[in-house]
Amino acid sequence: MTPDFDSSGRSRPARRPAKRIIPLVVAAATLTGLGTLPHALVGSSPGSDGPADEASSPREFLSLERNPDLTPVRLDRESSVNRATPRATFEAGTAPLAVEADGAPLLFEVQAIPVLPGATVRFRVPEGGPTADVRLEFAQGSAAETDGGWDWVAPAQPGAYALEISAGAESDTRVVQVTALVAHPASLVEGEAIHGFRLGRYMDKPLRGDPAYLPPDGFIEVPAGLENLAVSPHFVLGQFLCKQEGDRRFLVLSPALLAKLEAGLQKVNEAGHRAETFHVMSGYRTPAYNRAIGNTTVYSRHLYGDAADIYVDIDGNGHMDDLNGDGTVDSRDARVLFRIMGSLEEEGHEHVTPGGLGLYGPKPHRGPFVHVDTRGTPARW
């Protein structure tokens, strides 16, 4: 695989005040679009007029409120990869309460989920979850209480929409902040482009019949200025943009990839490397861009939004750091990161999807890096 370069930045959000309704950051309530996964979108089929039609018996401790002041979370810097003054200790940003979206646990206190327009997402408090003062707040769309949770129906207009699930008394509130990324459906693709942004051709026939290689169901639009939109506690949208230029830009982004990167970043910090994020050399690639940079494969996981070429760059110099402490930066430093990321699968790390892991040594025009993806089956090179 031929990598490409550039950097996007991020830093951690400020700690949220205890009071529930105050938004973490100030951003536009409705943004112009974000992204999605092939056949991994949250929510039922789009086009329904309301929540799923079934008998409901809401639990007494659940409540629901429309809050137009809610806004999607944005991290406070996009110009550099790391904070100027990193925190003394790493904060994983795991979800402080148990809640699920369509049966999948929400893992982080701040996270994005992909949704198609008009789709219904079922948020549920599982057995063993909070049992007092549990509230769903949402800015747009519609919602109704159901047995053990709520059904939220995404707006028809693609964009980024804020939701918040909280539990506990106002003096001690635990909060999970969600940005629903309502994607532009793939049905809008015309002539291998979406709204003038060239995609190129996705293969209609999936590799070895694996549905993970079916074309994406939708695409995220990323307007200029929204690169710092948080997609997880330590990563922002701009880190995964294709380097392809365009008046309008789109990408595909997998929640499974974000979960794996967050787990790996925590392991890197446990190993003594105080990193706020990974430098993502290459995230999403359109099939057209992948071909333009010399790659011959038509099934690269970068095309499906669940692959990233990464390295640790604490000093922000645009190259892998000296992770093994021998005074030089070479393939041995990439191997340190390779082993850390590989240990997630070897140890059966919860919520980590198996996938590809590749080690790439330095070249004259770039340093070493590690490829990570969540294709669903292990692969090593």
* 149 token code pair: 């949770």
pTM summary value: 0.85
Mean pLDDT of the chain: 85
Cβ neighbours for 149, distance < 8 A, ≥ 6 positions apart:
62, 99, 100, 122, 123, 124, 125, 136
Q: How confident is residue 44, by pLDDT bands cut at 50, 70 and 90?
A: low
Q: How confident is residue 128, by pLDDT bands cut at 50, 70 and 90?
A: confident
pLDDT at 131: 77
Nearest to 93 by CA among 295, 258, 250: 258
Where are the chain's structural domains?
Answer: 62-380
Cβ neighbours for 21, distance < 8 A, ≥ 6 positions apart:
67, 69, 137
pLDDT at 87: 66
Q: How confident is residue 67, by pLDDT bands cut at 50, 70 and 90?
A: very high
**pLDDT tens figures, 280-313:** 999 999 999 999 999 999 999 999 999 999 999 9
**pLDDT tens figures, 214-269:** 999 999 999 888 899 999 999 999 999 999 999 999 999 999 999 999 999 999 99
Q: How confident is residue 147, by pLDDT bands cut at 50, 70 and 90?
A: confident
Cβ neighbours for 191, distance < 8 A, ≥ 6 positions apart:
none
CA–CA distance, 342 with 322 (Å, rounded to integer): 19
